[in-house]
Structures are given as structure tokens and as C-alpha cells.
Amino acid sequence: MSALPAGGTVRAITRWGEPVMHKPCREVTSFDAELRSLVADMVATMYAAEGVGLAANQIGAGLKVFVFDCPDADGHHHTGVVCNPTVRVPVGRDRVLDDDEEGCLSLPGAFVACARTDSAEVRGIDLHGRPTSYAGDGLLARCLQHEADHLDGIVFADRLSTRARKKLYKEAARLAVDFPPGWPTSR
């Protein structure tokens, strides 16, 4: 488990539809104080929104970095920071799909079933420029895949059928009053 940086400022979460959410992010090339400050803000925002993961573009920064604090299938918590991630998932007979509910802080409150592999590994670079990797199952596997997708400009609705996507957007519209613009800073 990697300690997450503290002392960040909670920022408003960027919503689906904003351009930064739907295009690939830039590679992280500088592991400096500016990156550490961004990551600390991401951690503070993730916790304020009661999420298990957050990608940089979810607070408007188009950089390939995400943070997470998420349990695996056995309930053990894992935390980390991953820059420039690559995801590996099982293939062939080892591939098992988990069609569990998924949500996103950038479309707050709404959940719908989304098929993901039941285990995943992410490799990348940590906050200090060193190689890092995390692997897990259950919600952790879903989180690693979800956050890495964000950095490639993919929101999980892109992986849904038209019917499931409509259900998701209908639920989000119904709950919009609970998540006003500027959320979670507007609480």
C-alpha cells in the first residue's frame, strides 16, 4: 500500500461532456512539486466526494495520473498513485467478466451494470518517477480499469449498450439536484 499525499484542496469535479473528459490525456513527464500538488488535490477531492478513485481529468487536468483508495474482493484496502498507466487484464479462458454496478464521480449518483474483467493489473510510474504496479480483483479491478479508461478519454457509458446508457443518464438527471455545479465544493 502506498501512502497518498495529504493537504490538498478540494476541487469541483468535471462532468461528462466537458472536452477534457473525452480525449486522451498527456503523459506525465515532470515529477515535481506541481504534480505533487495536483495529486494532493485529487486525493482531497476523491475523499470529499466519497469516491474510490479519481483521474486528473476529473478535476480538469489533462494529465495521465490517477489516485485510488479502494477495497479488493476480500475487503483489503489498497491505495496508490499511478502516472502513465497501462492496464493488463486476463484473456482467453482466464478472462472472467463481472457485470456489477458501476458509477462515476463525473456523473454523480447514478449506477448501472457494466461488464469488466474480475481481475486487473495496472503498471505505471509513481509520484516520484519510480516504476509501480497494482493488481487486484473485485471493486479494485473495476476501479483500476475505470480510472485508466478516463485517462484515455473513455467514460464507462462508452462501454454500455444504448439501453443501459439511457437508464444511466435518466438516473443521473433524476439525481442532478443532489449534485449541483461545483460539487463537491458546493456542499
pLDDT score, position 187: 63
Q: What is the pLDDT of residue 87?
A: 97
> Which of these, 162, 66, 144, lies nearest to 102 by C-alpha position?
144
User: Please, which pLDDT band fits residue 132 given cuts at 50, 70 and 90?
Assistant: very high
DSSP letters spanning the chain: -PPPP------PPPPTTSGGGSSPPBPP---SHHHHHHHHHHHHHHHHTT-SEEEGGGGT--BSEEEEEEE-TTS-EEEEEEEEEEEE---GGG--EEEEEEEETTEEEEEEEEEEESEEEEEEE-TTS-EEEEEEETHHHHHHHHHHHHHTT--GGGGS-HHHHHHHHHHHHHHGGGS-TTTTTT-
Lowest-confidence region among 4-8, 20-24, 26-30, 89-93 = 89-93
- Tell me which of 3.90.45.10, 3.40.50.12780, 3.30.70.2860, 3.40.50.970 is the CATH number of domain 19-178: 3.90.45.10
- 57 falls in which pLDDT band (50, 70, 90)? very high
Give the domain ranges of the chain: 19-178
Task: Write out the catalytic residue numbers.
Answer: 147
pLDDT score of 106 more than 70: yes
Question: Residue 134 carries which DSSP code?
Answer: E
Asked whether the predicted pLDDT for residue 22 surpasses 90, the reply is yes
Give the pTM.
0.95
In this prediction, residue 152 has a pLDDT band, given cuts at 50, 70 and 90, of very high
| pLDDT higher than 60, residue 53 | yes
